[in-house]
Structure 1
Amino acid sequence: MKNLFTSFMVAILFIGCTQNMVTGRKQLSLVSETELQSMAQQQYNTFLSENKVVNASVNKDAEMVRRIGTRIASAIQKFYDAKGLTTVLDGYKWEFNLIDNKDANAWCMPGGKVVVYTGLLPITQNEAALAVVIGHEIAHAVAQHGSQRMSQGLLQQLGGAALQIALANKPAETQNMFMTAYGVGTTVGVMLPFSRKDENEADQYGLYFSAMAGYNPQEAIALWQRMAAAGGTKPPEFLSSHPSDETRIANLQRHMPEALKYYKPLKR
């Protein structure tokens, strides 16, 4: 029986591993992007209805979040179109919202559903630094890191059950798993933390994405130094799975020459 279970799990892992079009590495993927985007739309709408959304029409910070996000989304679309990888963003319908919440947090669900918390703004301090954060979160979504975490959760908790079965049999647990996989709420980084490889990729591509959108990627260094300082013994929610440290800053500096190739300052 034990050998049968082991063989079953190996088969799931073999079948569920796909090559990511963005990063090129193999990832566990038991849930389709279409399914995740559908679930994301529902969960995003629920989250917005239960939290205080800052009106971008009357608030300059909310307008800034939307402006940065729109520029990054446009830059990413052009980048992948030029590489013949248009399908990377299939189904994406971008939304960018600022939430009145004191936590230092931001996240992006599948399909480009982005939220920034007001508690993050005193740390980012300027538009370019916030662009680095939004680029980082979008990179997690585009590289399907959350999909991998969701797949890991299904494998660990529900034995590799399909998403539809998981939702039907344990809807609350599955929805909580989804929210945790995408860094929403206070449990981020506790149940299904991003791996160091995922964080490094999000740092790297987030740097590129913000630079492509016309934001100076060199702002990332001071940003992560402020992130580390803001955390003290406990990192901000945004960094709970991978605290900012010298290694992260060193990696950013390593990717900086490539990021600067993409950087063309915005015309004011």
Structure 2
Amino acid sequence: MRWFHLLAAGALSLTLTACATSPTGRQQLTLVSDAQLNQMGAQAFQQYQQDLPTVGGTTHRYVQCVADALVSALPAEQQRGQDWQIRVFESDQANAFALPGGYMGVNTGLLQVARDQDQLAAVIGHEIAHVLARHANERVSTQTATQLGLSVLSSASGMQGPGGQQMMGALGLGAQYGILLPFSRRHESEADVLGLELMADAGFDPRASLALWENMSAQGGGQPPAWMSSHPSHGQRVGGLQAQMDSALARYQQARQAGRTPNCPRP
């Protein structure tokens, strides 16, 4: 088990030098500066716009309206801390994304699944939560630390021959399923909770998040076992949302009483 102790020592060293806390109070490993990640986000956003056609008109105004309502519900420092932009991309894939720096994209295919402004707010709120929780930094940092640990292990234990390569491959799979994928599932679950709170604070009905996942399930398609997936299963996500729903509904009622009543007509 000497390899395990080497990895553990390396991970502990990195954690002590680059430790942060997520909005839910979870400890994070963050090795990359926000400025670097924001620059990477801007570059990736430009590449997206070169690779896929964008959609304007009423469709973009609808998506922009939902995004604006969500961003306006953020604390002032979070609104200023990102260059919040959103684009609609012509793609049949039911997908959306958010990049460091606040750059967001929604595919037209998603609008066939998110059938009203509240369901769309559940998706965009989830993506905004990824940015606010610095999940991209944590993913990059975790991958860097894992690769560094495996590299140190390979050099220290002399695993350069065919047998060593096979062993390193097995350890790589162990790192994938034991470290990297669980981190990703944790990020998704955290973004679900934070996104639910954000959509409620913006005046969108949080119960629409459950309807959205019903639509996702109805769309079909097999899923790998949860332990092999970078995302929780549909059942796990719905269960997590239901557990937070009473609190989210209370926030929603407070937002409506405070005059947050978004009205984004679907084209």
TM bucket (normalised to shorter chain) is 0.7 to 0.9
Alignment of 1:207 with 2:204, yes or no, is no
1:158–1:67 CA distance, 2 compared to 1 (3 A): farther
Partner of 1:232: 221
The structure that has the greater radius of gyration is 2
| Contact 2:204 2:262 survives alignment (8 Å) | no
| Contact 2:202 2:262 survives alignment (8 Å) | no
Partner of 1:180: none
TM-score norm. by structure 1 comes to 0.74
The answer for unaligned runs of 5 or more in structure 2 is 151-178
Identity %: 36
Post-superposition shift, 1:73?
A: 0.7
Partner of 1:95: 85
2:237 aligned to 229, 248, 253, which one?
248
Q: Secondary structure at the match of 1:261?
A: helix
Q: How does 1:78-227 map to 2 (within 5 A)?
A: 81=76, 86=77, 88=78, 91-157=81-147, 193=181, 195-227=184-216
1:229–1:250 CA distance, 2 compared to 1 (3 A): same
| Contact 2:55 2:88 survives alignment (8 Å) | yes
TM-score norm. by structure 2 comes to 0.75
1:90–1:36 CA distance, 2 compared to 1 (3 A): farther
The letter for the 2-side match of 1:152 is T
* Alpha-carbon distance in 2 for matches of 1:73, 1:245: 27
Partner of 1:186: none
Number of aligned residue pairs: 224
Q: Secondary structure at the match of 2:222?
A: coil
Post-superposition shift, 1:12?
A: 1.7
* Alpha-carbon distance in 2 for matches of 1:267, 1:33: 31
Partner of 1:184: none
CA offset digits 1:5-56 (Å, max 9, x no partner): 8644431232122222x2211001111112111111122112212210112x
| Contact 2:72 2:79 survives alignment (8 Å) | no
Q: Secondary structure at the match of 2:136?
A: helix
The answer for unaligned runs of 5 or more in structure 1 is 161-190
1:5–1:207 CA distance, 2 compared to 1 (3 A): closer
* Alpha-carbon distance in 1 for matches of 2:6, 2:186: 31
CA offset digits 1:114-147 (Å, max 9, x no partner): 0011111111111110000000111111111121
Q: Give the number of the structure with larger relative contact order, counting CA–CA contacts within 8 Å between residues 6 or more apart.
A: 2
Partner of 1:76: 74
Partner of 1:12: 14
* Alpha-carbon distance in 2 for matches of 1:35, 1:159: 23
| Contact 1:62 1:98 survives alignment (8 Å) | yes
Q: Please tell me the root mean square deviation across aligned C-alpha atoms, in Å.
A: 2.8
Q: Runs of 4 or more off by more than 6 Å in structure 1? A: 1-6
